[in-house]
Structure 1
Amino acid sequence: RLSQTPMNAGPISDNDKIVGQNTITMWINFARTGNPTPIGYFLDDNSKWLSIQESNGCGDTRRLER
């Protein structure tokens, strides 16, 4: 008989949220552009890679060239 208890019933860690956000962003950008996005980065409106930290206002705001 299989247990009905989820493998991890605890709260979602911040790291899990970041990984999930990056993964979702990567797939959205892949759908938009046909190009996979490096993990930890997303495409801004000018199609430049921008890190997740930069998007949250942390760290510097330099745009990265593809």
Structure 2
Amino acid sequence: MEKIGFVGLGIMGKSMTRNLMKAGYELHIYARTKAKVEDVISEGAIFHNSVGECAAEVDAMISIV
């Protein structure tokens, strides 16, 4: 399974993240405020405390900021 990192989980980013998870990708995410992405975390995304930490774990990064 390919691992994808995602930064920018607003309305568009959350939808894209969910679609990528449905397609079978492992999603690693970063957001400044963890509470705002708890819904995506509960659906299977892996939260990281920094962009660097997130990038170190993935094969590709997507940024929607």
Name the TM-score, length of structure 1 as normaliser: 0.29
Task: Give the structure with the larger strand fraction.
Answer: 2
> RCO higher in 1 or 2 (8 Å CA, sep ≥ 6)?
2
Larger Rg: 1
Name the TM-score, length of structure 2 as normaliser: 0.29
